[in-house]
Amino acid sequence: MPTKRFDQARPFLTLGLVVAVWLLLPVVLKTFARASFFELTAPVTIAASRIRDLQEFWSLRLHSKSELIEAGRDLARLNSSYEMAVQQNAELRTEIARLENVLRLPSFQEYRYEHARVARRDFSGWWQRIVIRKGRNFGIPVGAPVVFTGGVVGRVSEVHLTTSVVDLISNPGVRLAGVIEGDPLGRPISFQGGVNPTFAPPTGIVEFVPLDIIATPQSPKRLVTSGLGGVFPPGLSLGTITKAELGSDGLFKSGEIKLDERLGSVSEVTVLVPLTPGTD
């Protein structure tokens, strides 16, 4: 009879064994599983992104020829203005190089620009981030600044083989040192992403705002990167401070900053890859 009872306990024994094996799995295996998760899911993410691109392509194919002709004309106009901007840019670069040469200043080329397409957006109340379609294969490092036409997008937080995760500046976990545009003293202000509901316009919070800075919705103050933090170059737009009130310490103001609404729909970004990695 004891033999029969053992037979009946076999399922429990099996379950116990499975649990024990799981608990005793080597840490390396678990770490590997965690690390490889992104690599395993990356093809799916990229494939989905490409399918979306294809959908967009076919939806564009459905437009009438006259619409396409109109869009082509708009594009031609835009291209011509960009062409002009490129020429002006080239002239300015030459002038800057000449002045740097005259003043014997070091050349300001600290970054390489890596353009990347957004593969996935991951927004929640706790984090706001995007996945871009470039990773270690393009030499993107963790911590690299990411920008777009509206200013700062965020900072690379994870890098995988073919993808990278970028924490948006609307993410509460992102903090930067900014300065008020035009502040002659260049006093650093703390910027941090706010707690943003998924579909709400992105906002952030600012702290350590000097008491003489007055910002209201009617006369907002633009906040740009300070360049002091060693991560972002100076002068990139972070957003506009629309409210600044006396903080709880009585020494500074704290307030809200309105971020670029296009952050939620950004599809192309540029990663600033430092040319001298490891120098803070």
The reply to whether 230 sits near another protein by the rule CB under 8 A is: yes
Q: Two tokens at 171? A: 């993410």
The reply to whether 2 sits near another protein by the rule CB under 8 A is: no
Rounded Cα distance between 257 and 176, Å, is: 13
CB atoms within 10 A of CB 64: 8
What are the CA-CA distances from residue 47 to residues 89, 108, 136, 215, 253 (Å)? Answer: 37, 38, 18, 45, 47
Which residues are registered as beta bridge partners of 112?
A: 273
Rounded Cα distance between 174 and 155, Å, is: 8
Map the footprint of another protein across residues 166-205, applying CB under 8 A: 172-177, 186-188, 190, 192, 194-195, 205
Smallest distance, another protein to C-beta of residue 47, A: 33
Smallest distance, another protein to C-beta of residue 246, A: 6
Smallest distance, another protein to C-beta of residue 44, A: 29
Q: Which residue, 43 or 197, has its beta carbon nearer to another protein?
A: 197
CA atoms lying within 13 Å on the CB side of residue 12:
5
The reply to whether 226 sits near another protein by the rule CB under 8 A is: yes
Among 249, 265, 278, 279, binds another protein (CB under 8 A): 249
Q: Which residue, 190 or 267, has its beta carbon nearer to another protein?
A: 190
Contact 145, 231 (CB under 8 A): yes
Q: Which residue, 46 or 195, has its beta carbon nearer to another protein?
A: 195
The reply to whether 248 sits near another protein by the rule CB under 8 A is: yes
Q: Which residue, 148 or 252, has its beta carbon nearer to another protein?
A: 252
Q: Which residue, 163 or 171, has its beta carbon nearer to another protein?
A: 171
Instruction: Look up tokens 């990356």; give the residue.
Output: 42
The reply to whether 231 sits near another protein by the rule CB under 8 A is: yes
Smallest distance, another protein to C-beta of residue 185, A: 9
DSSP 131-181: EES--GGGTPPTT-EEEETTEEEEEEEEE-SS-EEEEETTSTT-EEEEEET
Q: Two tokens at 201? A: 């316009």
Smallest distance, another protein to C-beta of residue 249, A: 5
| Count, residues near another protein per rule CB under 8 A | 29
| Interface with another protein (CB under 8 A) | 4, 172-177, 186-188, 190, 192, 194-195, 205, 208, 226, 228-232, 246, 248-252, 280
